Copies of this chain bind each other. A is one copy, B any other.
Amino acid sequence: MKETRRLNVGVLGAGRIGRVHAENLAYRIPEARVEAIADVIVEPAQKLASDLGITNVFQDPRAILENKDIDAIIICSSTDTHAQLMDDAAANGKHIFCEKPIALDLAKIDRALAAVEKAGVKLQIGFNRRFDPSFKRVRDLVASGELGEPHILRITSRDPAPPPIAYVQVSGGIFLDMTIHDFDMARYLMGSEVEEVYAAANVLVEPEIGKAGDVDTAVITLRFANGALGVIDNSRKAVYGYDQRVEVFGSKGVAIAENKTPDSVVKSDTAGVHAALPLHFFVERYAEAYVQEMRAFVQAVLEDRTPPVTGLDGRVPVVIGYAAKKSAEENRPVRLSEIDR
């Protein structure tokens, strides 16, 4: 394809993340054009389409999947629909951007990835945090060798507030819903695979989460293939906002990505020195990352290159998530090979 061609995309799912991607495609990525939007619930799709001046709105995704003018689809619907939509999109020769996770079931994931492979379409998984300028900078410092051999990874990942209990009940649990991003970040930053996980977890934030069979606070130890060690700490509720920090310590130095704030003002008064809280939640914190990930997808398709977050990148964190879940349940370190066989 020539660089001057525009990529025609269809967006499946008009919820919060669907809106983020559609707006970015419409306003921030001149090389792409949102041709159509579909959602089983028609109203938000129509509102989104109207806001962006898009005329094609559907309830049935097939109207998009079978549209010859559409080159690629952006899957932002609920998790349980991802794998089937990937199958269908692949069968229709559409390139695919799919929100994480592909599915909660490894067999389903494998079938979907096989369908994509067979169809030869491009696939990118929505691990947006890789495109955050600060995390990318840390990755670059590791990859370039400026930090030497990586020895210790630290990820702090805390949400400003827990999701509704109804969501917790179907989310697959904290490790598959929330920590999955951190597992991806761990692989991305270290450039080495996780081999074993030990998860210590508890219900400290919200008893209802415990009643739903989940935990809300966790400290997870990772052992990497290269011998390095890592730790992720999670909480469903940081009252001061979305806490997203990473640190890689290596033989030549350490790199720490601090939180991102809406302004750089420091105020001092009789009570102390005060600065702004972190940006509230993922939509604000990763606004730039969402643009960059979609731009990377569009460019990869237009330039016929492999997208930067592959199907395998979408699969491995689910395996780590199951290992963490098992570890927390059995209170012992669990090797990934116990899950993935």
CB distance from A54 to the nearest CB of B (A): 12
Which of B53, B235, B259 contacts A264, CB < 8 Å?
B259
A217 — nearest CB in chain B belongs to which residue? Answer: B151
- Known interface pairs A134-B263, A253-B267. Does A240 touch B204 (Cβ–Cβ under 8 Å)? no
- B255 and A267 contact, CB distance less than 8 A: yes
A333 within 8 A of B: yes
Alpha-carbon separation in the docked complex, A127 to B331 (Å): 31
Q: Taking the complex as formed, is A223 at the interface, i.e. its CB lies under 8 A from any CB of chain B?
A: yes
Pair B217/A152 contact, Cβ less than 8 Å:
yes
Is A187 among interface residues, defined by CB-CB distance under 8 A? Answer: no
- Stretch touching chain B among A13-21, A271-279, A308-316: A271-279
Chain B binder among A62-70, A163-171, A174-182, A226-234: A226-234
When the two chains form their complex, are residues A268 and B251 in contact, meaning their CB atoms are under 8 A apart? no
How far is A256 from B228 in the complex, measured between Cα atoms in Å?
A: 25
Cβ contact of A228, chosen from B204, B263, B277, cutoff 8 A: B204
Q: Find the residue from A137, A202, A273 having the highest chain B CB count within 10 A.
A: A273
* Centre residue among A30, A198, A228, A269 by max chain B CB count within 10 A: A269
> In the assembled complex, which residues on chain B have CB atoms less than 8 Å from the CB atom of A254?
238, 240, 243, 267-269
Q: A149-B204, A200-B223 are in contact. Are A257 and B265 (CB under 8 A)?
A: yes
CB distance from A290 to the nearest CB of B (A): 14
B256 and A266 contact, CB distance less than 8 A = yes
Within 8 A of B (CB), among A157-199: 158, 198
Check: A121 CB closer than 8 A to any chain B CB: no
Q: Does A94 contact B (CB under 8 A)?
A: no
On whether the beta carbons of A28 and B27 are closer than 8 Å, the reply is: yes
A238 with B249: CB separation less than 8 A: yes
**Chain B contacts of A272 at CB under 8 A?**
240, 274-277
- Is the CB of A143 closer than 8 A to any CB of chain B? no
Report whether A258 and B252 are in contact in the complex, using a CB–CB cutoff of 8 Å: no
Q: Verify B200–A229 contact, CB threshold 8 A.
A: yes
Given A154-B233, A200-B229, A221-B221, is A264 in contact with B269 using a C-beta cutoff of 8 Å? no
Q: Which residues of B contact A136 (CB under 8 A)?
A: 263
5 A-B pairs with C-beta separation under 8 A = A30-B51, A219-B229, A253-B270, A261-B273, A332-B332
Q: Which 9 A-B pairs have the closest CB atoms?
A: A253-B269, A240-B268, A134-B263, A258-B264, A27-B27, A273-B275, A219-B229, A133-B263, A137-B265
